[in-house]
Amino acid sequence: MTVAVFPAQRQPDHRPEDTDLAGAWAEWLRGELNANWRPSEWNAEVLLFVGDPDSPHTAVSVCPVTGCGTVVTSPGYCKPCRDAYRDSGLAKEEYEATYTREFRRVAAHRPLASCAVSSCPRNAFSLGLCQVHYRGWAKAKKRPGADKAAWVARQQPLAAAEPCRVPGCSREKAQNNGLCRTHHRKWRLEANPADLAGDEAAAAERWAERQSPFLAAHMFSLAPLSPLARLEMLYVLQQRDARGQTLSPQAVRGAVDLLAELPSIALAGESLPDPAQAGNTGTVSFLRGLRWEIVTGFDRFRGVDPAQTLVWDLRSVSQQFPSLKKTESALRNPSSLDFGQIRQGWLRELVMHWARTTNPDSKELREHHWACVIASRALQLRSGGGEDPGKLQFSDVTAVVDAFRTARGRQGDVYSSTTQIKRAAQFFNLLDFGRREGILDGLSPRFVRHPNHHTIKKVDENDEEIGKALPDVVIRQLDENIHLLGQGIPYGDLPAEAVSAMLRTAYVVLRDTGRRPAEIAGLDLNCLEFDKGEYQLVWHNMKGRRRRRRLPVHQQTADAIKDWQEIRARWDLPVNSAGHLFPAITNRHRHLDTGNLARYIRAWADSIPVLDSEELGRDGTPLPFDRDKVFPYAFRHTFCQRYADAGVPLHVLQALMDHRSANTTAAYYQVSKKMKREAVDTLRVLTVDRQGDSAPMGSATAYEMRSVAVLWGNCVEPSNVKAGGNACPIRFQCAGCGSYRPDPSHLPAIEDQVRSLKANLEAARAMGAADYTIKGMEGEIADYQNVIKKMKAKMESMSDEERHEVEEASKVLRRLRAGSTGSGPVALPMPTIRPADEASA
């Protein structure tokens, strides 16, 4: 006999005799169980759990509608009351104050009505009478002048009938086999013909021992399980209670149905059902947790230390090392860590000793483990396989470093140079730790990294990439298909139209504000503030630990949020989500999960029939856009790219993105060298002088070397060029300078300057400024307007393809100028830049 414990991932160091394994396991479980567990809900005699809606540890509640009282699995209305609420059109408070549920169907789990005879305790059978009194009335009514009410008043109550044999069944015995009528019908359907032909009462008694009574939403019975499986299930439930996990009676009922045929859960082996068979997500989650609880308990029973095995179940090990719970640990994402992947015993013991003594969090542990796996694979290819640490040489270090230079992640993706450097440092830091701890005394002194030979150079990963921003043409197509977002997605008790409205709002806020997905998902319900004629989004920068940040938003974005707030107020939502704009599915979380948001956005992108890119195929038709590039965080890049294309300076972009470092902001919008060269080649021939007449640059080199970008165009004045644009002899009055060389990429900045000059001109007139001042400003405005007029006329004379090429080249150069530290004219507090479909509306 072998020990069949799921999953079969490790061999025990010690186990009881196989012949008495089940008995010893049962005895161990009895010693672990609390006999006084949930006394107000659990009845050990009849194996019945009746959940208390007032208990915070039980996932049941009562429908709040007057006259209803139906027990439901989550806070809110039962289905009939929810349907009535939808049909009423009333606000939630008004509905609960005025609606009273009158009709309720009789359900099997409710106690039957008592006999109409006074003080008769038996259940009503027919015409409001118990079976005995009904038969008496059936004879009496045949007599002339029989009156039922008078007859009932004369009858004597009977003694209470025997209860049904089924544990926990509240109905009375109605058959000689000891079953109530309903269980008797079920017995007749399920019984073997041999049982019916033999001693039916004895067979029915054996059958009844493994049957459930009729259960409401807040009830479950362990009677269908085998005696050992009952102990195992109770152990699991009590362990979950000890960690504060909520008990869902419906999830337990689903698990009991799947496990009813097993003699033991721990010893089930291959016959253990797959959790995915449960269908219900709550039951699937419970079964996965049950598997872990049983495996962990069985290891304790056999004396297995989870931190001494080659394969660590991180949830089990986290009970010994609480530091593993500091990040998104295995308690939320069940998984294991296989130290057997590290082939060299000395290296394996090193990293395990480090983990046992330094208390890393789960992320640190995984990273150091993987660094050792990479080094182990490199050493395994060397002479001797790296098994003897005393024989390792300088060349072995070189092989290890080379392995890190070409390292790939667990999913097969090539590591960036930054990650390669980090993994190598983690490995060599482990070696230093082992030497300090004295567990690597036998390691060769030649196995040391040399600073000149064993370095990994950092590579600029984005030197020739354009970032993750979505092109405007893709944003337009997404907007056109926004009605598909959220279709067919179940979300708790929310109806389909509310789910779609919520996700559409989340997309609009992602697109228009550029906040991180977690910041959008966690928005407070009252996240809008109206201040000095404009709306501001109040959000929390959790990554930077800066709360209640403010970002000006357009009226259209504010309207989308307010529309969703009105829709949200009409629905009964989880209590924990009361303070958040986007609610969670259940009370286990406080708001919309970012993982779910990412799945919904990706599913939406996949559902759009046609999604074209900017690139044209050989036949001139647009090529399909890669839908994998549509994900929530991409909209943050798109937001930054949009304003960089408009020429917003870097310091303003940094404030909009709420970054501490301008270098971080610069990484969100990127222009490749190739794009820059192409943009310069396009626009150098469209350069004009201060009169608006054509003054093309001879080459791209001349454009870049002989001019400098000033506030409203390029300048070719030698001393100013040499000073980087900071030594203008005429104080940046470009419109009157012969060295002024603007091109179409400067049009937005020039137009901003004209608006600013007009405002200043009005102020100067009101102040009674000197005539020469007024005339100077008027002349400057006229010259700028002349340049604008001629450049726009030139562009209007182009074909659509040429004009598009110039517009795209202008975006590239404005994006580059946005990266400068100079402060140009910016329409604060928020540049008026909108997606193309909004701008054309």
532-578, pLDDT tens digit by residue? 788 999 989 887 788 889 998 989 999 999 999 999 888 878 888 88
Q: Tokens standing for 734?
A: 């470009």
Residue 616, helix vs strand vs coil: strand
To the nearest 10 degrees (0 to 180), the angle between helices 362-380 and 394-405 is 120
Cis peptide preceding 829, ω within 30 of 0: yes
Alpha-carbon distance 342 to 335, whole Å? 18
Within 706-770, residue ranges assigned H as helices are 718-722, 747-767
418-432, pLDDT tens digit by residue? 888 999 999 999 999
All residues at 6 or more sequence positions from 68 whose CB lies less than 8 Å from its CB, including other chains: 78, 80, 81, 101, 104
Residue 219, helix vs strand vs coil: strand
- pLDDT at res. 19: 45
| Residues paired with residue 219 on neighbouring β-strands, in sequence order | 50
Cis peptide preceding 213, ω within 30 of 0: no
Contact yes or no for 687/693 (Cβ under 8 A): no
The number of residues in the chain equals 841
Contact yes or no for 346/390 (Cβ under 8 A): no
Residue 825: is its pLDDT beyond 50? no
Give all strands (DSSP E) within 195-239, no chain letters.
219-221
| 3-state secondary structure string across 383-403 | HHHHCCHHHCCHHHHHHHHHH
What's the burial of 398, exposed, middle or buried (CB within 10 Å: 0-12/13-18/19+)?
A: middle
A 10 A CB-CB count for 226 gives 17
Give all strands (DSSP E) within 642-688, no chain letters.
none
Alpha-carbon distance 595 to 166, whole Å? 45
Give the H or E element holding residue 550: strand 546-553
Alpha-carbon distance 687 to 699, whole Å? 12
Checking DSSP bridges between strand 622-624 and strand 612-616, what pairing results, if any? antiparallel
581-601, pLDDT tens digit by residue? 999 887 778 899 888 899 999
What's the burial of 627, exposed, middle or buried (CB within 10 Å: 0-12/13-18/19+)?
A: middle
All residues at 6 or more sequence positions from 160 whose CB lies less than 8 Å from its CB, including other chains: 121, 122, 172
All residues at 6 or more sequence positions from 505 whose CB lies less than 8 Å from its CB, including other chains: 560, 561, 563, 564, 581, 582
Contact yes or no for 537/518 (Cβ under 8 A): no
Residue 167: is its pLDDT beyond 90? no
Alpha-carbon distance 126 to 691, whole Å? 104
Residue 372: is its pLDDT beyond 80? yes
Using left for φ > 0, alpha for ψ between -120 and 50, and beta otherwise, residue 443 falls in beta
Quick one: pLDDT band at residue 391, thresholds 50, 70, 90? very high
Alpha-carbon distance 608 to 170, whole Å? 55
- pLDDT at res. 724: 67
Contact yes or no for 316/329 (Cβ under 8 A): no
CATH architecture of 482-607: Orthogonal Bundle (1.10)
Residue 129, helix vs strand vs coil: strand
Residue 276, helix vs strand vs coil: helix
What's the burial of 702, exposed, middle or buried (CB within 10 Å: 0-12/13-18/19+)?
A: middle
**pTM tops 0.85:** no
Q: Which amino acid, residue 516? A: R
Q: Tokens standing for 700?
A: 């791209």
The residue extents of the domains of the chain are 18-40+218-302, 311-437, 482-607, 671-797
Please name the residue that has the structure tokens 């806070």.
Answer: 75
Please name the residue that has the structure tokens 């394969």.
Answer: 311
In the predicted model, what is the mean pLDDT of residues 793-807?
Answer: 83
Mean pLDDT score across all residues of the chain: 81
- pLDDT at res. 477: 93
733-774, pLDDT tens digit by residue? 888 888 888 888 888 888 888 888 898 889 888 888 888 888
Q: Tokens standing for 514?
A: 């550029």
Handedness of CA 573, 579, 581, 585 (dihedral sign): negative
- pLDDT at res. 378: 93
Q: Which amino acid, residue 50? A: V
In the predicted model, what is the mean pLDDT of residues 222-236?
Answer: 92
How many CA atoms lie within 13 Å of 220's alpha carbon, on the beta-carbon side?
23
Residue 132, helix vs strand vs coil: helix
Alpha-carbon distance 287 to 413, whole Å? 33
- pLDDT at res. 229: 92
Q: Tokens standing for 525?
A: 């319900």
Q: Tokens standing for 572?
A: 């009964």
Alpha-carbon distance 773 to 447, whole Å? 78
Residue 331: is its pLDDT beyond 50? no
In the predicted model, what is the mean pLDDT of residues 145-170?
Answer: 85
613-662, pLDDT tens digit by residue? 888 888 878 889 999 889 998 999 888 888 877 767 777 888 888 888 77
All residues at 6 or more sequence positions from 106 whose CB lies less than 8 Å from its CB, including other chains: none
What's the burial of 253, exposed, middle or buried (CB within 10 Å: 0-12/13-18/19+)?
A: buried
7-55, pLDDT tens digit by residue? 433 334 444 444 478 889 999 999 999 999 999 889 888 888 988 888 8
Alpha-carbon distance 373 to 339, whole Å? 8
Using left for φ > 0, alpha for ψ between -120 and 50, and beta otherwise, residue 588 falls in alpha
Handedness of CA 680, 683, 686, 692 (dihedral sign): negative
In the predicted model, what is the mean pLDDT of residues 376-392?
Answer: 91
Alpha-carbon distance 42 to 63, whole Å? 23
